[in-house]
Each structure stands twice: as structure tokens, then as C-alpha cells.
Amino acid sequence: MSKIKITIFIIFTLTFVISFVVLIAMLGINDNGACEKRQANIINYIRPVKADCHSIENNERRFGALRDNGVRLHAGIDFVPRENGHGTPVYAVTSGTVTNYYYFFAGTDALVVLNDDGTVIRYGEISSDLRVGDRVAQGQQIAAIATMYSGAAMLHLEWYCGCEIGGLTQVDNMDNFTHVETRNHQRRADLLDPTAFFDLPLYASTDTAATKKLLIFKVGLITTLIIFIALLAVLSKYLIYPKFIKRYVDKRTAQAMSKKQKQQIERELEKLQREIKGNKSLIFKRNDCD
């Protein structure tokens, strides 16, 4: 009986542990490294340019396109508005703090923001009124697209994991990159590919409501599962378990009874045989007398 109890206990413990592990996995609590986790935050990011932009697919606006006659590779992506590029508002993709603002390229400036999730974005080829130490909120206009000497106007956006320190432009760094293919980007080692920024929905939706809904759904699902498991355990203890035990006891009792009956029958049989033997000897004796 105790063996059955132990078995049932083990089954339920295992079920609980497995369910718990599955739930933890569903929550995504497993740590795959700080940088990967930071990249995952992109689902909460918004596009930095609301205006309709040219495609970055297979052209020189994309990440990794050739620059300087193939000497180096494009380290960011370019948001090039289809119309009236100059002065186009640039919005913070997520909240953070301005860590740098300086002259960048061909008559334009760059704004560096350390995002609250630890990543770093360089908004380049712009002009801005913000300065070091200023806080930026997600969706806040932080800059305007400026016009380069060539007459072109775009936002050049670079993204970094934030796992390294030092200047973002590193002309000597040709092959030391942690998160992108090792090629000559001439940037800091923790450079990320920001192409996904282009796939984000337009600025209008920050999707915080959707994120909240997803969280509520997850919590609800987990609570339901826990209640279900608890109910299952209770039901097993008070309904299934006694029934199972009863069936087992009945079976064993039946076996025991039949064994007892068999023994009795055997005993009676032996007794009968003995009697028959006795009678036989009497018969023979009587015959001998004749």
C-alpha cells in the first residue's frame, strides 16, 4: 500500500516540477545573455522616422552596404524620406539619456543616446537641441534630419549592444565584432544590425497596451494552469486515489478468499481420500475373510 502512495507522490511531484519548468520556459526567464535580452526589447521600440522612407532592401541604404569604394561597410541603416527630407522629425525609439552630441558627417551632427535597456543608438546626420545629460522619452522628437553637403537628407542610425566602452567609431576595428558578421565596419565591437527598425510599425503605435495585454494573458494562463494542477492533485487525493485503493484492496481480498477456499477444499479432499483409503482397506480385509 505504501508503495502505491509513494508512486502517486512521485508522479505528482514530477508532474508539478515539469509543469513548473515549462511555465518558467514560457515566461522566458531563462537567461540567454544580457545582449540577446536587450535585443529582444526591440518589440517595444518604435520607428524613429514617421515619414514614408525609401526601401533599404538590397541597396546602399542597408546595413553592410559597401562604403568608400568597398574599403569599409555601412555600420547602420538610413531612413531616407521620399519627400522633403530636410527637417523631418526624428523620434526616440525608446527612452534613455543623451550621452553625446557632436559634429558627425558632411555638415551634420550626431546624437548618442544610452537607452534605458542598456543599448546605445547613434542618431546621425541630424541636428538637435538636446545636450549631454538630457532625458529622452520614447516617441519624443529628439532631432530633425539635416542636409549634407551633397544635398542628401536622411537619418543614419547605428545601434550598439552596450557591452563595450569607448568611442563608437573605431577605424582600426576591422574584424572584432561580437554580434554582427566579422567584417570591416570600423565601429565598436558591440555593433548591432538595426535592420529590424525598418520592420517596426509606424510611429503612431507604441504598443504598450498590447504588451500589457500579453502580460495579463500570460499571468492568466499561468494562474489557470496552477489552479488546474492543484485541482487535479486534490481530486486525485480525495476521489481517484481512494477508488484506486478500494479496487486494489477488493482484488487482493478476492484473491485471499479464493486462496482460503482452495486450501479448505484441498483439506476436505485430503480428508475424503483418507476416508476412501480407510474404507478400501476394510473392503480388502472383508474379502480376505471370505
Positions that interact with Zn ion (CB under 5 A): 78, 156
Q: At what angle do helices 241-289 and 2-27 cross, to 10 degrees?
A: 150
Contact 84, 152 (CB under 8 A): no
C-alpha distances in Å from residue 47, one per residue of 44, 146, 205, 255 = 10, 18, 10, 76
For residues 107 and 100, give the distance between their C-alpha atoms in angstroms, rounded to a whole number.
17
With CB atoms as reference, the residue minimizing the distance to Zn ion is: 156
**Whole-number minimum distance, CB 24 to Zn ion, in Å?**
41
CB closer to Zn ion, 78 vs 117? 78
CB closer to Zn ion, 67 vs 218? 67
**Whole-number minimum distance, CB 74 to Zn ion, in Å?**
6
C-alpha distances in Å from residue 183, one per residue of 94, 173, 175, 179, 219 = 28, 9, 5, 11, 43
CB closer to Zn ion, 38 vs 156? 156
Residue 229, C-alpha cell as written in the block: 494542477
**Whole-number minimum distance, CB 73 to Zn ion, in Å?**
11
CB closer to Zn ion, 47 vs 156? 156
CB closer to Zn ion, 38 vs 61? 61
**Whole-number minimum distance, CB 147 to Zn ion, in Å?**
14
**Whole-number minimum distance, CB 21 to Zn ion, in Å?**
45
CB closer to Zn ion, 50 vs 122? 122
CB closer to Zn ion, 7 vs 55? 55
Q: Which amino acid is at 150?
A: S
Give the residue from 136, 129, 130 showing the smallest Cα distance to 114.
136
For the beta carbon of residue 211, count every other beta carbon within 10 angstroms.
12
**Whole-number minimum distance, CB 63 to Zn ion, in Å?**
9
For residues 76 and 81, give the distance between their C-alpha atoms in angstroms, rounded to a whole number.
16
Instruction: State CA 47 to chain mean position distance.
Output: 23
**Whole-number minimum distance, CB 76 to Zn ion, in Å?**
5
**Whole-number minimum distance, CB 39 to Zn ion, in Å?**
20
CB closer to Zn ion, 82 vs 285? 82
CA angle 182, 187, 188 (to 5 degrees): 90
Contact 121, 76 (CB under 8 A): no
Q: What residues have CB less than 8 Å from 149, skipping those under 6 apart? A: 106, 107
